[in-house]
Amino acid sequence: MDGALVLRSGDPARVVPDLAREVGAVSVHVSADTGVHGRQRDAAVERALGDVPFVRTGSPYAVTPGRVTKSDGTPFRVFSPFARAWREHGWRAPAPRPESVPWSTGVRSEDPPEVSGLDGVRLPPAGEAAASDAWRRFRAERIDDYKRTRNTPGTDGTSRLSAYLKYGCVHPRTLLADIEDLDSEAADRFRTELCWRDFYAEVLWHRPESAREPLDGRMRAMTYDTGPDADARFAAWAQGRTGYPVVDAGMRQLLGEAYVHNRVRMIVASFLVKDLHLDWRRGARYFMQHLVDGDLASNNHGWQWVAGTGTDASPHYRVFNPTRQGKEFDPDGDYVRRWVPELRDVPARYVHEPWLAPDGVPDGYPLPVVDHAEELRVALERYEQVRALISRGRGSSPAAARRPTAAPAAAPAAPPAAACRWPRGAPSRSPPAGRWSPRPPRAGPGRRR
């Protein structure tokens, strides 16, 4: 850019005012950041600029958070009524591209930071041109089948635009304007997914504490497992070594592409929270550390939706069975075979239940770390205990169900910013009795399987 792009590192409240004075800026302009950290950062910069105007323009959403409310001015908590109001409110047309911009040149700049820690991760090409190309291909080749294929991780059925939306390489109003003339159910489904992104940003705008704490404060009484055994199960989940093929494929895709298919995000999140009984914040933080499209509002509220602590109107009994989810949405096992090479030679009939294969589980692949049917019972017991406390008007945590548990861990610090909205799905069955790898009993009250 002929020296027009200036990189400086340090505290924004110090660096930005210093640069403004250096170039003689009469105002400082930014795209409005409605996130928790962004609002705090921008307020600090504005104070530090003193008499120099700090101008916030637009936002990375179709409708800026705070503008779609109920008729009484209060925020929506449930998606469906928000979506109706969002559509009725509408959105502005994309901003026109200026013919020219008078850039300042010759200003001292630091070198870009070195890229480290990717360890061979395959990232999408960066930039506005790459985003435009990705959008044109999706619109021309795949949007007509989007409603049918968006839930099948073994096919190239999604837009893969989430990273470009996160980094501002393409604006949602550009996408919405480009499909304004499409009246198909598939195009409407794509609009709905963009609406989910706006909805979670809206929730975070009104409830910034929900980035770290349950949106439904009553769910603070939920208990989660902690300790060495819980840590070992978290590690198995994070490494894609749970013995449940679709879960392991999803976690290995995360490590290989810094991305997870939308449907699979929900499956692996449900497994962590409701099969392994671990705090949703552990999973949300891990996703934020690894996702190239990590968006604080969408990621953390997607995890809360699965955990039953967020915006879901009926969260208590929704537990996804990883085996049935795999069979329904990856019926031929294409997705699993791509990411779990140990199962590439397993017939489709057994690829989601390798413990049933005549030759047994292939060498190198683990047996299931838990029995889904039993863990489902434990999860529902804990939810029932919370509901009982709520009905009695008590706020203390319930007694542990069969096994030692602890209250949710302190909210972790969030690295820089998942993701897109996670769709709904149905529960189903687990490995037959006697075929999983049970956890040994341990001393103390309760037991671990």
Distance CA 217, CA 396 (A): 12
DSSP 8-state code for residue 224? B
Looking at the predicted structure, is the pLDDT value of residue 427 above 60? no
Share above pLDDT 70 across residues of the chain, in percent, rounded to a whole number: 86
Alpha-carbon torsion angle 382, 388, 393, 399, nearest 10: -50
* CATH 3.30.9.10 for the 1-58 domain, yes or no: no
At residue 295's C-alpha, the angle toward residues 294 and 298, to 5°, is 115
Fold of 62-94+125-206: 1.25.40
φ, ψ (nearest 5 deg) of residue 442: -135, 160
* Helical (H) or strand (E) element with 442: none
Residue 315, pLDDT score:
63
Distance CA 331, CA 249 (A): 14
Return the domain boundaries, the chain. 1-58, 62-94+125-206, 217-391
Share above pLDDT 90 across residues of the chain, in percent, rounded to a whole number: 77
So what's the architecture of 217-391 in CATH?
A: Orthogonal Bundle (1.10)
- Tens-place pLDDT, residues 145-155: 999 999 999 99
Residue 2, pLDDT score:
60
Residue 318, pLDDT score:
82
Identify whether the C-beta of residue 309 lies closer than 8 Å to the C-beta of residue 219.
yes
* Helical (H) or strand (E) element with 29: strand 28-31
**Regarding predicted confidence, which is higher, 386 or 428?**
386
Looking at the predicted structure, is the pLDDT value of residue 262 above 60? yes
Exposure string for 369-388, b = 16+ CB within 10 A, e = fewer: bbbbeebbebbeebbebbee
